[in-house]
Amino acid sequence: MTDSDRRRRGVQVFRRVYGEVLQTPVPPAGQNRSFDFMLETLFGDLWCNEILSFKERRLLVLGAIAAQGVDTAFAIHAESAVNNGEISVAQLQETLLFLIQYVGYPRASKLAGAVDAIARKYG
Q: How many CB atoms lie within 10 A of CB 95?
A: 20
Record the pTM.
0.90
**Dist. CA 16–CA 19, nearest whole Å:** 5
Confidence of residue 109 (pLDDT cuts 50, 70, 90): confident
Greater pLDDT, 4 or 63:
63
pLDDT of residue 94: 97
The mean pLDDT of the chain is 93
